[in-house]
Amino acid sequence: MATLRSAKSALRKEIKKTLASLSADEKKKQSKVVTDKVLASPWFEESKRLSLFLNMPDEVDTFPLLKAAISAGKECFIPHYKGSQMTMVKLSSMEDYERLPVTKWNIKQPADDDIRPDAIETGGLDVIFMPGLAFTRQGARLGRGKGYYDNYLHKCQRAGVLPRTVALIFYQQLVDVVPVEENDVLVQEVLNASPQEMGS
């Protein structure tokens, strides 16, 4: 177990260093390719309820997807982190999004006293877009170490509402091996721009 933890820690460090070296322009270009792939997919077209992570600077920009989903009339949910728990709460509109306060991680989420029901309680989710630091093509995922998404997916399983899981990543986050533990949930689909698509 200790060996596994140290392997995860080393990989986190390595990927964070790689991501820190990406230029804003490179991230913007890759984010656009990933966004276009999502918007062109049949499962996005068919989905009615989806959850999107609001990205940090070293993650794929999800804002264009949020706008597209809301304007397409889909129900959009975002993470609400509170202590060791994460719920997925509904955004009623882009105005609702704009009004949200910013956390210490520099991402928006409802204030702690802004109580909203979790998506699981109101019918579940069709799709969860997954953040993370490193992924294999087979769906093994290395998160940031808090277990928020793995725990949430286990909660979905227990409630009998299993969403499609899709990772949105830069191609620099694709690796051959991710050390996984028993609690780690595999992602069904990993979407990224390829070096060929980026012309490099």
> Is 9 annotated as belonging to a binding site?
yes
Residue 90 CA to residue 116 CA, distance in Å, equals 7
Instruction: Please check if 145 is assigned to a binding site.
Output: yes
What is residue 200's three-state secondary structure? coil
* Structural domain contains residue 33: yes
What pLDDT, in 10s, does the model give residues 76-106? 999 999 888 999 999 999 999 999 999 887 8
Domain limits for position 92? 2-192
How many residues make up the chain in this entry?
A: 200
pLDDT value of position 180: 85
Known binding residue 158? Answer is: no
Q: What is the mean pLDDT of the chain?
A: 93
Q: Quick check: is 199 in a domain?
A: no
Q: Domain for residue 111, yes or no?
A: yes
Residue 83, marked binder: no
CATH number, domain containing residue 102: 3.40.50.10420
- So what's the pLDDT on residue 200? 55
In a domain, 36, yes or no: yes
CA 151 to chain centroid, in Å, comes to: 14
**Domain annotation covers residue 200:** no
| CB half-sphere exposure, 12, CA atoms < 13 A | 12
pLDDT value of position 181: 82
* pLDDT tens column, 63-82: 999 999 999 999 999 999 98
141 is in an annotated binding site: yes
Token output for 14: 């390595």
Rounded CA-CA distance 113/166 in Å is 30
Per-residue model confidence as pLDDT tens digits over 35-47: 999 999 999 999 9
pTM value is 0.93
- 43 CA to centre of own chain: 16
Whether 29 maps to a domain, the answer reads yes
Do residues 167 and 128 make contact, with C-beta atoms less than 8 angstroms apart? no
**Contact assessment for residue 189 and residue 166, using Cβ atoms and an 8 Å cutoff:** yes
Quote the number of domains for the chain: 1
Q: Determine, yes or no, domain membership for 185.
A: yes
